[in-house]
Amino acid sequence: MFFKNLSGNKTHTMTLGERKGLKFGILCDTLHLQQWQTLVIEQLILEGNALALIILNKEDSPPKSKGIRRLLCYPIKNFIFLFYYRFLLKPKSKRMLSIEPWIKEAILLEENAKKVKKSYYFSEKTIEAIKSSEVQFLLRFGFGIIKGDILHAAPYGVWSFHHDDPEVIRGVPSNFWEILEDIPVNGAILQQLDESIDCGKILWQGWFPTINHSWKANLDQAYYGSVEWPAQTCREILFKGADCLKNKPFPKPAPMRFAPINCIMLKFFLKLWANKVKFHFNELFRAEHWSIGFIESSIKNFIGNNSRPENIKWIRSRSRRQYYADPAGIYQNHQLKILCEHYDYKPAHGEICLFKTNHHSTIYRPEKVLLNASWHLAFPFIFEAEGNIWCLPESAQSNQLRLYRWDTKKEELMFEKIIISDLQAVDPIIFHHNRKWWLMFTDKTKSNYSLHLWYAEDFRGPYFPHINNPVKTDIRSSRPAGNIFYMDGRLMRPAQDCSVISGHRITLNEIIEITPFSFVETTRFFVEPPKSRQHFKGMHTLNTAGPYVIFDVKQDLFIWDNFKRRLLRKTKKIIVQ
C-alpha cells in the first residue's frame, strides 16, 4: 500500500505489513461542501481510509426574505462585512462542490439536532448509529458548536479545523485579523473537540506567512495548506497507536473575535490597498543582495553575541547585480575554504563557487567556479563520511538531488550519483544520527514552511520518506539553514525564520525525537544578523567549519535587472488577464 500526496506521487511504502485505514464519518449541513473540505475527504480515501457515515443537518430554518427585504435584514453595523464576504470575496478553496459521488459508499443519516442557545446536542438514535457504524472519528464540516455525547461516540472523537492560531486569534472571520493587525504569521489547527470551545486537543498544527495584500490568497493558503492534516493524523494512529493522541497539548485560547463592524471594514480595505501598493513597490524596486561573513569563534559564543563584530571578515560582490550567499566551509591544513552560491540577476541564475581565506586578506575574490549547470544551483551543503568530504547542493530546478565528492588535490567537486529523482528539494541537508542518515529539505512549492524528512542506512541511499511528510509546517522554523551540531548535549538544527520576510533570521531548533515514524523539535534560540552600519535586513545560512562560524546577511537594494524582469512579468500578467 502506498501513501500518496494530492499530486499523486508515491510518498511512502508501508513496510510494517499491510494495514487497513480508519473508518470515518462527516457532519455537514448540505451535500455540497467547500472545495478544501472535499480535498480533505479525497486525501483520506486515497490513503485507504473509508467514509462510512454522513450525518446531514436537517434543522428547520425560518423562511428567508427576498430582494430588498433580505438586504434590510442584514445587521446594519456588520453590513459591509456580510455583503463583501457573501458576494465579493470568492476564494477558490471555498467553492461549493457536491459530495454525492461518496454517498453510495456511506450511510446517509439525517439529524435534526436539539439546539440549546448556539450549541447542538444529538439524539440517542444518532449516537447509537455512530457506534454501530464503527466509525473511528468524525469530521465536523457543519452544525456549528457541538456538545454532548457525540463527542465521545467515536473512539477518536470529533475532529474540527480552526483556521487561525487560537492562542493569537480566535473567532471569526478566518485569516482576517492577522492582515488588519499586521501579524506576520497565520496559524491553523486540527483539534479533537471537547465541551469547551477551542480548547480541544491539538492533533495537527501549522503556521503560514500572512499574505497581507490579499485576504483571498491568505484564506486559500491556510485552507489548502491544512488539507492533509486528517490523513496525517490517521497515519500517526496507524503506525504509533491510539496513545499518540493522549498527550497532545491544549492551546491557551485568545479572546474571542466577532464579525467586524463597518468602520473596521473600511480600515481593513485601506490596509489592503496600502499593503498591495507596498507589495508591488518592493517587488519592483527592492531585491535581495547577500554578503558572506566568517569569524573565528565557537558557535556558542557567536549565538550568545559574545563575538566582537570588528573581528568578522566579509566576502562581498562589488556589483549590485551579483551576490554571494549560502556559505559552507571546508577546513583543511589550517585553511578555511568557503563554497557558496554566486547569483547574477541578469540571467537570474546561480552557480557554486570557491573562496580561499587567510588572516591577511581584507578583500576576497572567487578562486574558481565549481559547479555550473543549465539549472539554478545554490546552498552547497557540506558533510563528512567515509573519510571524504561530500557536497549536496540545491538543484531543485533539475528535479534531482545530486551528490558530489570533494577532490582535495584538484579542489573540485566530482559528481558521485543522483540520490533521488523527481524531487524538488530546497536547501537539503544530510546528517547521521541514531545509526541512520537523515535528509531534510523543504518542498519547492512551499519552500519556506513545509519541511520534509527522509532516511537511509547509507548516505548514498536508497532514501525512504518519513511516514508523515511534511513533518512540520511552520514559516518560523522549517527551512534548513545549515549543518546540524551539538551544543550543551543538545542536537541543534539551524532553520530559517521567514515569518517577517524571507530569510529574516536564524532559529536554532533542538531535535527532541527523530525516527521513521515521528519527528519532534522545539525552538531554543534566535540568531539575529550582526549589528552594522549597513543595517542588515536578514540572515539565512549558519554553518561551522573547524574553528570558524560562517554565515550570510542581506540588504535590500534597487537592482535594474531585477526591476526589468519583474516589470515584464507584471505587464504580461495584466495583458493575459
C-alpha distances out from residue 257 to 157, 449, 487, Å: 26, 27, 42
Average pLDDT per run of 10 along the chain, which is 577 residues long? 37 46 96 97 96 91 61 80 94 95 89 89 96 97 94 96 94 96 96 84 95 98 97 94 72 88 98 97 97 95 84 94 98 95 97 90 88 97 97 97 97 97 97 97 95 98 96 98 96 97 96 96 94 85 97 96 96 85
CA 271 to chain centre: 25
* E strand segments, 168-275: 170-171, 185-192, 201-209, 256-257
CA distances from residue 551 to 212, 262, 484 in whole angstroms, order as listed? 30, 48, 14
Taking the C-alpha atoms of residue 253 and residue 330, their distance in angstroms, rounded to an integer, is 48
User: Closest by alpha carbon to 161, among 137, 193, 135?
Assistant: 193
Nearest to 167 by CA among 185, 180, 151, 179: 185
Q: Which residue has the cell 567556479?
A: 369
pLDDT of 196? 81
| Parallel, antiparallel or unpaired: strands 137-141 and 158-162 | parallel
| pLDDT of the residue at 559 | 97
Cβ–Cβ < 8 Å for 31, 142: no
pLDDT of residue 247: 63
Percent of the chain at pLDDT exceeding 90: 82
C-alpha 553/C-alpha 426 separation (Å) is 19
Query: 3-class SS at 454?
Result: strand
Tens digit of each residue's pLDDT (9 = 90 or more) over 235-274: 999 998 877 786 666 667 889 999 999 999 999 999 999 9
The CB density around residue 398, as the number of other CB atoms within 10 Å, is: 17
The distance from CA 311 to its chain's CA centroid, rounded to whole angstroms, is: 36
Contact call for residues 97 and 35 (beta carbons, < 8 A): yes
Greatest CA span in the chain, whole angstroms?
A: 84
Write down the pLDDT at residue 3. 37
CB 455 within 8 A of CB 463: yes
